[in-house]
Structure 1
Amino acid sequence: MTDKCMRSPAEKGSANSSRIKIISFIAVIVVAFLMRMLSYASLTADGGITFTGYDEFYHMRRILYTVSSFPHILNFDTYINYPYGFEIGWPPLFDLLGALLAIILGGGHPDMHTVEFAGALLPVLLGVLTLIPVYMVATSVFDRKTGLLGAFIFAVLPAHVYISRFGAVDHHVAEVLLSTAAYAFFILALKLAGESKLSLNSLKNIASDKKLLNPLVFAAASGLFFSLLVFTWVGAPALISFVVLYALVQATLDLKAGKGSDYLFVCSAVTLFATLLFTIPLSAGAARPGLEMSAMYLSWFQVVYVLILLAGLFFLWGFSAYVSKKGMDWKYYPGVLILVFGSGLLFLRLFSVEYYAFVIEGLRFFSGKGEYIGTISEAVPLFLTSQGKFTLSSVIGSFGLSFLTALAGFFLFSLELKGEKLKPEGVFFLVWTLFYAYLALSQRRFTYLFAINISILTAYIMWVLMDSLDFGKEIKKLVKSGKKTENNSESTFKTGQKTVSRTKSKSKARHVAESRSTDEGSDYFKLVSGVALIGLVFVPSIWLGAAFSKDAVSIGPEWEDSLKWLEASTPATSYYLEPSETPEYGVLSWWDYGNWIVYVGKRPVVANNFQTGVDDSARFFITDSEEEAKTIVEKLNVKYVITDTLMAEGKFSAIAEIAGKNIGDYYEVKTTNENTGLTTVATPKQALLQSEIYKLHKLDGTSLGNFRLIHESTINSTENESSKIDTVKIFEYVPGATLTGTASPNQAVMATLELSSNTGRKFTYQKGEMADENGSFEITVPYSTENTGNGVHATSAYSLTAGDNSTIATIQVTENDILDGNIIKVKNS
């Protein structure tokens, strides 16, 4: 007989169960992949590939650079923070992976489309891979069925779908994968250490007892993933620190229970030591010159930081042993350690201001505080709007209704963690959840990290509820009932046949006996309740996740059209793929759009999404003085200024805040009681009308002497105030031609020019000056009367009027006059 025939029913059942679980997990992977690929259609609609967000465009710039110079990464870029350049703080692993994927897909020599496709696909692949550590965590803390359901929920949870969808080329998805893998292996190490009774004394028998080796291997694997996280995200030290925080909590609980903590400290020490060993070569290869320490760049700071964590861990270990040996009250342990931590901060403050600043700035960052962080919409608290009002939109948009189920799961799991159920892996998961909840509540962007815990806790509570409803049994009843009906139908065709076999008779009798329990029928209340529970969790998540994916394009057609025009119609700048030298000129816009301009427009920018150049940018757009505006652009060698409707409206408050101004000086805000409820109305004040951004975008720069409109994306929004279409305008800074002449003393002189934009919109340029007491006047104008082919062109000559609009002269101005800053003497007609 074959082995297959000799298998017992239990073995066959186990094999079938394993096969079903494998098939189910493959199905979860397929669902996760499809959810994240829903954005493919919208991002490739024009034949190319568009990317989501803002940082994604700079990641693509680094991936493009790395492909051309693999394995070297772009660390200093003269195309941002123009004209000074900027050292990039992002660690390189994510962009290296993108470049490597492009090289593989392109057979060693990928074209532009292949590079962009690889960059867009990378987050999908990393997102799907994250299902593995999610399953590992849930299975280790709970059981396999919770692991499978948790992975399924995670596959469709909007918070993670958002950062891992096709085109979301950002390192956040790698943060989730690597941190979850590190925590998953650490949990496995703790679990196996407990099962094998790992202690310092037992390590002597490690050669003969191989079970003792397993937790150490998993702890080392955890350290490897932590080091890769360091190579991916500058915030990695905070997530590594959690190991020490957990060790403090677990050691306290062990002391309270009278248990030893060797297993805990051995696993933690191995993890941190492995992190240190793997981080040293990574830091050595990418660290800044010398021994400079910086938390914002890959440097020796990360190595020293892990060393400090190791020292802190050994202190926890030694003090735990001391408290246990002396039989002291367990409460002394956390109390003394908190006191030591406070003293350590004071020591840093007194003897190392630099490291103290790193710690404080890190705490401020993760709590949503910082110089510019308040102007970033994704950095506001989870339950607050940017105006500080309570909202549920962010939490629902990130988790659907899973947040509520996970909250219930958290409290139930907390209540269950007592006595023998108070296992280290459970405590770790509980404290981990609290840690990530704090991050997400402080800054809504960290919901992508919290998605791990939300998914697992939701799966846990769902199984608890399903079991209480006997949902599985009711499904089996329903299936058996269907089979029975089918068998009865088939038997009607065999009424003439008689059963004479005794074996068959016994089988039939057994079947009848077993099916009596199902004769009562399924409990449809339980079935409907179970289906409703599944629907409440999955339907909102799938719907929101699909909405995120389908509506993935962030750069609007107005911006894309304008930036492609900028690339094609303005003088090309040098060193784009070798940004070691300063390019010929820069572009000034608000920092939100800097990465778009660099990648799509291929031009250097003053301000970009690293908040470089943001102070100069804010001062330029807020000033009411054209002379100050000129001083800024000349200092920065700016040739073009790009504005959009949001800068003149919604983003203006952020511009004012960074410029050190009060938004109340620019808008009068009133709340009125309308029929539909309370309505807030913001009325512009004179200060807003005098700002450079208003003069440029709302008034087309028609009163300015050195800035001229050269391209606009759509019909000017000032012609249709109710229009929600974003308008992008590109202005050129020019020396301008100066019209000089004489009029009556102290008389107003006005230069007027009729213009047509590239969209065919007609507008009028008017610049006025007062003649001095001798009657002399000078008016600097930015437009020529020639048609230069840029789209925006004059449809008349300049008309100079004085006093009561009497015409002094009609003047033609050439393009050379404008670009060379010529003086044109006006002869009165």
Structure 2
Amino acid sequence: MSKIDSLSVRTKILLVMFFALLIRLFPLSFLFSDGRVTFVSYDSYYHMRSILYTTQHFPGHLLSDSYINYPLGFDISWPPLYDVLASMLALIVGMGNPSNSTIELVAALFPVALGTLSLIPLYFAASNLFGRRVGFYSIVVLAVMPIHLMVSMFGATDHHVAEILLSTTAFSLFIFSLKEGTSSDFCRKLTKSELITCVRSRSVFYAIGAGITLALSVLTWTGSPIFIGLFALYVPVQLALDLKVKRTSVYLLLSSCVMYLAALVFIIPFVLIMVREGYELSAAFVSWFHVLYVLAMLDFVLICWVVANLIGNKGQWWHYPLAILILIAVGITGLRSLMPTFFSNISAGIGYLLGLDETLSTINEALPLFWDQYGSFTLQSVWGGFGLFFLSALVSLLIILRKGEPSKNPTIAFFVIWSIIVFVLAFSQRRFMYLLSINVAVMSGYLMCQLHSWMMPKTVKEHGGKHKKVNANSSNMPLVLILGMLLLPGTLISVVAVSNPSVMPSDWQASLDWLKENTPVTSYYSDPLQTPEYGVLSWWDFGNWIIYRSQRPVVTNNFQPSVQEVAIFFLSQNETNASSILDRRNVKYILTDISMVKGKFFSIAKLAGEDYDSFFDEETVNKGSSTVTTKVENDKFKNSMLVKLHIYDGSGSGHYRLLYESNTTVTKDPEVKYVKVFEYVRGVTVTGKAEPGETVYGATSLISNEGREFDYYNSAVADDNGTYSLVLAYSTQGNNSSTYAVVPYTIIGDKSRSSKEIDVSESAVQAGQVLELDIV
């Protein structure tokens, strides 16, 4: 017997948890330096803003933020539990007065702790479903599963891992409740004595725990109603199975109703405290919607049980599914007529979770599991999230169904329904792969256990007059190799994930630090109840970064307010129209990066209501004996504000000038840097006499903060009287910016070829002064 085999089950579990903790902590070695954390992805930065605010105003949390959707502000719908708990831990560690560094470190460690703890309910759920060996294999799989690790590693300060922990705990407790109810002799009949026994049973205890955990999920994630509704979807399926095998279903009524009642009792006090004016029945905020929703699920369970009993006494079991479908149709019709607001919240929530919102199609993580943004089939997300575990889970599900286990065991039937619903979510939006990670882990553990049984069969031997089961095969090496092959791809992907997490690029870090240090400070950052002085415009992906790192208000962020307006600005072909958006929004600075021009351009076009293909022409090129058709950027692409800014440094416009660019060069012809910061200015107007109809150009040469030399120009056409009016964005004198002009402007007409030079002061550009200069 190997040393590993001789270890106790508890020791093995602790070793797996310790390994899971270590691999999730690995990014700490390079994401925490100089007392500052580089957080993973985008949303973690807004969680950090919320955590900092809550720490300073504990237990208060952000309800509205004037730094989002500038200058209108934005009501925050994220439930507060995750941020409040992280803040509370920071206050404890910091002895009531934590530094920002302490708060960041605690917040970065928080998902690691939650991710490691999620192995506990997984083990108990899998063990109760399929046995302890499956439970152990399941936590081994989850410990190295890429998608779970991505949301629970150091710095991934987001509520996703809390969703996993809470939902798995609720489902596990419900499984315990079902198992207790089906394995005991009580609750067979609804007599007074048996009801008293039921109330005192462990089944009720577990159901209460499941209900409280569901209520906590409402305080953690706006999508938590899907967890609450999942149980209600399971109940009629299980009732149909019970009718088919003539099994009493009191255990199911008890577990479901007690769970929903516990959730109701626990959530009502929080709704009373947290409900906001104008959002009393909103699914996006903690509100009375959640109370009504739980009540609706409770009523549905009771009605399903009553119908099952009526059919069980008078009809065939297959009548029941038909009756339930009719009942659901009638219920939907009635709800839509009698409670339209409540119904619209439910339908909108379902549409959002299933990815039916048009905006979601422009978000990479909200795309369907097997398709990319261009509609092409891909397995990249599945492989990157699960490795071989997804395939092993599908094989296990087929084995489970073929054995008919769901019809024999209510807990396994619940697990199958749970898995199917979460798979539908992940299929609709790949972001929900993290919720599917638990189910994939259990099913992968199930397959590994089956392999274990097939390759290491037991045989009965007599020893000392006693019969004992021992391994028939002396070597377990073949099993180790097979299991290793299943684990290896996911483990390698996880190692890559923790070694190269999706963090803010260094160019963005430097650019946002520059923005913070070199632009006027805006007010109310720590208490964002009033409107700051000006706003910053960039694509929504970068909004949370700008808010947290630069401490500046943004027009749009990862909540995507006003995203269509921002998209229209970037693709505008007319500077006047583009500037009208900035004027309306009181925007002073614009940030762009190369991904907006290359990778994100498709999404920007879609949200702006533009045909993506209209920005490109087809060009046929001869390559050897064949011809290849490629897309070439056309004039519409080059004339968009985004390209004018990021590629041409504002040339062709009179109100936009480059202030700063990051270090990394992404293209050399022309030379373009990764991130750029532009200022929106009134611009100086140079006016005077030229030949009628003549195009007048103003041009100068500049040097950027990175020492890159570039030319800027703008043009205007003289009217019939020979008067031109040319707006220029850069000053040639008195500018302390790190990007500066090295020569005066040359003003030249394309017909007369007459030219003159003129210097422009910084004050003239900022004030929008008019300078006169005749060139004829």
TM-score bucket (shorter structure): over 0.9
2:371 is aligned to: 384
2:523 is aligned to: 574
Map Cα deviations across residues 6-61 of structure 1 (whole Å, 9 max, x no partner). Answer: xxxxxxx9xx9997111111101101101111211231256521001111110000
1:360 is aligned to: 347
| Post-superposition offset of 1:745 | 2.1
Query: Larger C-alpha radius of gyration, 1 or 2?
Result: 1
SS at match of 1:372: helix
| Separation in structure 2 between the aligned mates of residue 814 and residue 802 of structure 1, nearest angstrom | 23
Q: Which amino acid aligns with 1:71?
A: P
| Separation in structure 2 between the aligned mates of residue 397 and residue 559 of structure 1, nearest angstrom | 25
Which shows bigger deviation, 659-668 or 122-131? Answer: 659-668
SS at match of 2:151: helix
2:535 is aligned to: 586
2:692 is aligned to: 745
Q: Is the 8 A contact 2:53 2:61 kept in 1?
A: yes
| Separation in structure 1 between the aligned mates of residue 89 and residue 739 of structure 2, nearest angstrom | 43
SS at match of 2:201: helix
| Post-superposition offset of 1:671 | 9.0
Structure 1 portions without partners, runs of 5+: 1-12, 478-509
| Separation in structure 2 between the aligned mates of residue 364 and residue 211 of structure 1, nearest angstrom | 38
Aligned runs of 1:383-532 on 2, under 5 Å? 383-418=370-405, 422-470=408-456, 527-532=476-481
1:534 is aligned to: 483
Q: Which amino acid aligns with 1:747?
A: E
| Separation in structure 1 between the aligned mates of residue 200 and residue 409 of structure 2, nearest angstrom | 18
Q: Which amino acid aligns with 2:768?
A: G
| Post-superposition offset of 1:128 | 0.6
2:206 is aligned to: 218
| Post-superposition offset of 1:807 | 4.2
Map Cα deviations across residues 336-368 of structure 1 (whole Å, 9 max, x no partner). Answer: 111121222222333433233222222222222
Q: Is the 8 A contact 1:646 1:726 kept in 2?
A: no
Q: Which amino acid aligns with 2:678?
A: F
SS at match of 1:779: strand
| Separation in structure 2 between the aligned mates of residue 267 and residue 365 of structure 1, nearest angstrom | 29
| Post-superposition offset of 1:552 | 1.3
Query: Which of 258, 281, 289 is residue 293 of structure 1 equivalent to?
Result: 281
SS at match of 1:824: strand
Say if 2:125 is the partner of 1:176. no
SS at match of 1:806: coil
Query: Which of 232, 241, 255 is residue 220 of structure 2 equivalent to?
Result: 232
| Separation in structure 2 between the aligned mates of residue 206 and residue 359 of structure 1, nearest angstrom | 37
The percentage of counterpart residues that share the same residue type is 37
| Separation in structure 2 between the aligned mates of residue 658 and residue 552 of structure 1, nearest angstrom | 28
| Separation in structure 1 between the aligned mates of residue 287 and residue 624 of structure 2, nearest angstrom | 60
| Post-superposition offset of 1:315 | 0.6
1:52 is aligned to: 40
Query: Which of 589, 610, 613 is residue 661 of structure 1 equivalent to?
Result: 610
Say if 2:13 is the partner of 1:25. yes
Q: Is the 8 A contact 2:516 2:551 kept in 1?
A: yes
Say if 2:743 is the partner of 1:821. no
| Separation in structure 2 between the aligned mates of residue 116 and residue 799 of structure 1, nearest angstrom | 51
Aligned runs of 1:22-421 on 2, under 5 Å? 22-45=10-33, 48-199=36-187, 201=189, 204-205=192-193, 209=197, 212-289=200-277, 292-326=280-314, 328-418=315-405
| Separation in structure 1 between the aligned mates of residue 533 and residue 588 of structure 2, nearest angstrom | 9
TM-score where L is the length of structure 2: 0.94
| Separation in structure 1 between the aligned mates of residue 181 and residue 627 of structure 2, nearest angstrom | 61
Q: Is the 8 A contact 2:215 2:264 kept in 1?
A: yes
| Separation in structure 2 between the aligned mates of residue 756 and residue 266 of structure 1, nearest angstrom | 75
Q: Which amino acid aligns with 2:692?
A: P
Which shows bigger deviation, 555-564 or 796-805? Answer: 796-805
| Separation in structure 2 between the aligned mates of residue 689 and residue 319 of structure 1, nearest angstrom | 65
1:735 is aligned to: 682
Query: Which of 723, 734, 739 is residue 776 of structure 1 equivalent to?
Result: 723
Counting matched residue pairs gives 769
Q: Is the 8 A contact 2:69 2:554 kept in 1?
A: yes
| Post-superposition offset of 1:679 | 7.3
| Separation in structure 1 between the aligned mates of residue 752 and residue 155 of structure 2, nearest angstrom | 57
Map Cα deviations across residues 183-212 of structure 1 (whole Å, 9 max, x no partner). Answer: 000000000011223427467336985895
Map Cα deviations across residues 693-732 of structure 1 (whole Å, 9 max, x no partner). Answer: 11111111111111111111136645346x9x96111110
Q: Which amino acid aligns with 1:387?
A: Y
Say if 2:532 is the partner of 1:544. no
1:485 is aligned to: none
Map Cα deviations across residues 280-328 of structure 1 (whole Å, 9 max, x no partner). Answer: 11222211126721111111111111111111111111111111222x0
Q: Is the 8 A contact 1:558 1:726 kept in 2?
A: no
| Separation in structure 2 between the aligned mates of residue 166 and residue 586 of structure 1, nearest angstrom | 32
1:10 is aligned to: none
Aligned runs of 1:555-570 on 2, under 5 Å? 555-570=504-519
| Post-superposition offset of 1:121 | 0.6
Q: Is the 8 A contact 2:690 2:774 kept in 1?
A: no
Cα 1:290–1:621 change in 2 (3 A) is closer
Cα 1:568–1:679 change in 2 (3 A) is farther
Map Cα deviations across residues 225-280 of structure 1 (whole Å, 9 max, x no partner). Answer: 00000000111111111111111110000011111111101110000010111111
2:709 is aligned to: 762
Q: Is the 8 A contact 2:281 2:289 kept in 1?
A: yes
Q: Is the 8 A contact 1:198 1:262 kept in 2?
A: no
| Separation in structure 1 between the aligned mates of residue 557 and residue 695 of structure 2, nearest angstrom | 41
Aligned runs of 1:695-734 on 2, under 5 Å? 695-714=644-663, 717-720=666-669, 727-734=674-681
| Separation in structure 2 between the aligned mates of residue 694 and residue 651 of structure 1, nearest angstrom | 13
Cα 1:392–1:703 change in 2 (3 A) is same
TM-score where L is the length of structure 1: 0.89
Cα 1:262–1:211 change in 2 (3 A) is closer
Q: Is the 8 A contact 2:39 2:503 kept in 1?
A: yes
Aligned runs of 1:629-644 on 2, under 5 Å? 629-644=578-593
| Post-superposition offset of 1:771 | 1.4
Cα 1:677–1:248 change in 2 (3 A) is farther
Cα 1:677–1:471 change in 2 (3 A) is farther
| Post-superposition offset of 1:677 | 11
1:487 is aligned to: none
Which shows bigger deviation, 363-372 or 50-59? Answer: 363-372
Q: Is the 8 A contact 2:188 2:248 kept in 1?
A: no
Query: Which of 646, 663, 666 is residue 595 of structure 2 equivalent to?
Result: 646
Q: Which amino acid aligns with 2:544?
A: N
Q: Which amino acid aligns with 1:260?
A: T
| Separation in structure 2 between the aligned mates of residue 221 and residue 694 of structure 1, nearest angstrom | 56
Say if 2:636 is the partner of 1:687. yes
Q: Which amino acid aligns with 1:565?
A: W
Map Cα deviations across residues 544-584 of structure 1 (whole Å, 9 max, x no partner). Answer: 11111111142111111100000000000000010000000
| Separation in structure 2 between the aligned mates of residue 232 and residue 767 of structure 1, nearest angstrom | 52
| Separation in structure 1 between the aligned mates of residue 249 and residue 235 of structure 2, nearest angstrom | 9
Q: Which amino acid aligns with 2:691?
A: S
